[in-house]
Structure 1
């Protein structure tokens, strides 16, 4: 089979439904582009695996749900991500975390996400077909590129997918599903601007020892936490500025815990690539999916420091989780 076919007519687009792919536009940070891609890459990768797609196929990211699409061709879909969501097919509930066959004329509804968790992911067999921009189909909201004209989906958009044979229906075992909660533990490593040069030892203990509230003003650019006054190991930023969180502009890592004065912000996939504030810790790769499921204005987190060996072991576990060979046949 070859070519593409129209698969979805967008009836109701939801809050900010975006076409994304994984891992997005890697290697362009020096040119000012964070990679975009899914904020929860684990749920995203699992959705693609359930419909037989390649790991880099494009799919939909649906914050808060509220998406309705009309199916235009016989195919298969999978919905993964936040709990408390009850997708329906022609009004009948369908389960998350498994392959769901659909036929032309069907209506798929992803209602409001009650949680825990915040984002749903919808993959379709063959992958959503939108133009490649700088090597990726991911929507980069800060730059207005990728996806469907660089924007969120709108009512009346028609999405296409590559024609592929029907995938074998699969289900993710309960033990392999990401666990959603309202009180998260997120793994981090120190730095690049931690103690003793920037934070004090007591500041670091405070960072990993206290509970942080996720601010309502959080999005794909960054997850803001409640303000907190650190002691700092220096009195100012010197030539970089008066506050000790100021530094001469430097590059930012994905998942960096950026301290803008007294406000920590976890940098998301659409975040700034550089700036003049300290990054006191960095979320490890295996912890990034949790940031994507944080509910603004409600959830709380605690940071847990890990070393490199544990970070690598956690990443290997996620590779196992997203491998369809470990799923159950239906």
Structure 2
């Protein structure tokens, strides 16, 4: 607010009006665990005990930002399972990507996904439960959400309670602010149907074996089983990890030796993002809020280009089959993902 002040010599001078950040949105229904995220999160801090956080489905998140003219890493919202409603406080564009079946609306009228739509102050977006296929939705706003950076990122790290809005999921009545450069942006873009990801209830997910696979930890038959069985996604899955059904591997050794009695025990070591951690008989795919280290084998690792699929697995319903790929195929898959993210391939509306 503009005002006046008195200097040391008694002169009265004008005080410039403070520039307030535009209100991006007000949360009317927060959903299950809606969080502010950015991409790629806090990389390089694993040695200090921080997994990167960021979106579980990095592809849908980055596409949403591209559609509203942001850089792929601008802060936006991750909305698991839908059931979400917000009121906007700015004039610009927004985009909703991700899971099917949420029936999003803008001011009560059906709203398209995978394309930008124009909004004005007072407009409301609402979505029901995302019946799928898919599980998570992503909302990007032109300019990006303006929350403080913590350790170089705005991403909410739920395990550590940092980043995002006070390190927590959004609650009814929360207000988020917008980076000023996003106000008034009106260009509308759409991701062509041919470049949109295919969601399913039965997924194929690409992995590379190890670091703890055969022949030192698993038998060759164990590995064949791992890549041929259909794995059920457990209901108790979240951003920390995606639990799968228990399976009794044969193991190539009798015990973990000095690390412990079970063959899945190892001396504590670093865990990779997307690592498939085997705690006894229970495999868990480590998510972006997962533990940075521990004493259990990691029998395979989801390749980067397939990590987005983890974000769309529906707990309690979906199944997975793992497919082993080599380094060259993993890199080719990454190029395919990056092709779809190239702004030159978006359609103007």
TM-score (norm 2): 0.93
1:134-173 Cα deviation digits (max 9, x unpaired): 0000000000000000000011111111123514211111
Deviation at 1:3, TM superposition (A): 6.9
Which stretch shifts more, 115-124 or 85-94? 85-94
Match of 1:281 among 285, 292, 300: 300
Counterpart-to-counterpart distance in 1, 2:186 and 2:256: 56
| 1:250 alignment partner in structure 2 | 269
| 2:338 alignment partner in structure 1 | 319
1:104-162 Cα deviation digits (max 9, x unpaired): 11111022101000000000000000000000000000000000000000111111111
Larger relative contact order (Cα-Cα within 8 Å, sequence gap ≥ 6): 1
* Residue 163 in structure 1 maps to residue 180 in structure 2: yes
Which stretch shifts more, 217-226 or 156-165? 156-165
**1:203 aligned counterpart, secondary structure:** helix
| 1:180 alignment partner in structure 2 | 199
Match of 1:4 among 21, 29, 44: 21
1:172-197 Cα deviation digits (max 9, x unpaired): 11111111100000000010000000
| 2:70 alignment partner in structure 1 | 53
CA contact (8 A) 1:75 1:125 kept: yes
| 1:235 alignment partner in structure 2 | 254
* Residue 120 in structure 1 maps to residue 137 in structure 2: yes
Counterpart-to-counterpart distance in 2, 1:116 and 1:4: 37
CA contact (8 A) 2:118 2:186 kept: no
Counterpart-to-counterpart distance in 2, 1:297 and 1:239: 36
Match of 1:138 among 147, 152, 155: 155
Counterpart-to-counterpart distance in 2, 1:65 and 1:173: 23
| 1:194 alignment partner in structure 2 | 213
Root-mean-square deviation (Å): 0.9
CA contact (8 A) 1:3 1:162 kept: no
Deviation at 1:271, TM superposition (A): 0.2
Deviation at 1:4, TM superposition (A): 3.1
Counterpart-to-counterpart distance in 1, 2:127 and 2:103: 7
Counterpart-to-counterpart distance in 2, 1:167 and 1:310: 39
Counterpart-to-counterpart distance in 1, 2:186 and 2:229: 46
* Residue 291 in structure 1 maps to residue 310 in structure 2: yes
Question: How many residue pairs get matched?
Answer: 329
**1:78 aligned counterpart, secondary structure:** strand
| 2:14 alignment partner in structure 1 | none
Counterpart-to-counterpart distance in 2, 1:84 and 1:210: 28
Gaps of 5+ in 2: 1-18
Counterpart-to-counterpart distance in 1, 2:119 and 2:293: 44
CA contact (8 A) 1:52 1:167 kept: no
TM-score (norm 1): 0.98
**1:4 aligned counterpart, secondary structure:** coil
**1:55 aligned counterpart, secondary structure:** coil
Counterpart-to-counterpart distance in 1, 2:189 and 2:148: 29
CA contact (8 A) 1:188 1:282 kept: yes
CA contact (8 A) 2:93 2:187 kept: no
Deviation at 1:61, TM superposition (A): 0.1
| 1:73 alignment partner in structure 2 | 90
